Chain A
Amino acid sequence: GQQVMQIPQYQHVQEGEDFTTYCNSSTTLSNIQWYKQRPGGHPVFLIQLVKSGEVKKQKRLTFQFGEAKKNSSLHITATQTTDVGTYFCAGPRGGADGLTFGKGTHLIIQP
């Protein structure tokens, strides 16, 4: 079945440093979503990417969808303590409704 893999599993950064998480799918995706989950909270939708090579920005966050639509990345510039949490990518399940989530990247920020 379809697999969505994320790396790294954990990332420790000093406040102010940049952060990137990568997502790779075993199959071509029609679209990809990114979600953020704060510690003890629930996942919150961040963005959806649909087009090959698409790049979208939300303030300090930059999202990219690969040309082959099999990979994606999330880059945070100059991390802040409010960025702490787990970032998940998710893609449509092949041949069925619903999303397949990656295992997430835990972002830990040291002040």
Chain B
Amino acid sequence: NAGVTQTPKFQVLKTGQSMTLQCAQDMNHEYMSWYRQDPGMGLRLIHYSVGAGITDQGEVPNGYNVSRSTTEDFPLRLLSAAPSQTSVYFCASSRADSGANVLTFGAGSRLTVL
């Protein structure tokens, strides 16, 4: 089992560019989520999904889109990148019967927006 796989590990964008951060898990977890981590701010929930075809907003959803067409994949799209979106992004998954609380995190994607 690879667990939760995120790509790319590093990305540099210019303001206004768009991109997609990929996340895939092979544990058949129902629940998937995206967090961003900024210095001194902890981890903040961007979007989450409780199953294929179902997504919902977290604490800081503005500027991001998600979709969940399969159980395995949960990509995060930045529509028009802004310097405020410079951050480390973590994808996480969980079994639904854990209450979506026992999260397995990916290794992270470090994004810099110039």
Contacts and interface: CB of A to CB of B under 8 A. Distances in A.
B106 A48 contact: no
Contacts of B92: 43
B33 A102 contact: no
Contacts of B33: 98
Max chain B C-beta neighbours (<10 A), residue from A93, A98, A99, A104 = A98
Interface residues of A, number: 25
Contact of B45 (A31, A33, A45, A98): A98
B108 A42 contact: yes
Nearest to A30: B99
Interface of B: 31, 33, 35, 40-45, 48, 50, 56, 58-59, 90, 92, 98-108
Given A42-B105, A96-B56, A101 B100 contact: no
Interface string A30-55: 11010100000111110010000000
B106 A33 contact: no
A99 B101 contact: yes
A93 B50 CA distance: 14
Contacts of A102: 42
Contacts, number: 62
Contact of B102 (A41, A48, A103): A48
B98 to A, nearest CB: 8
A44 to B, nearest CB: 7
A15 to B, nearest CB: 26
Given A43-B105, A88-B43, 7 more contacts: A31-B101, A42-B108, A43-B92, A88-B42, A97-B48, A97-B100, A101-B44
B29 to A, nearest CB: 13
Contacts of A30: 99
Contacts of A93: 45, 58-59
A103 B58 contact: no
A66 interface: no
Contacts of B58: 93, 98
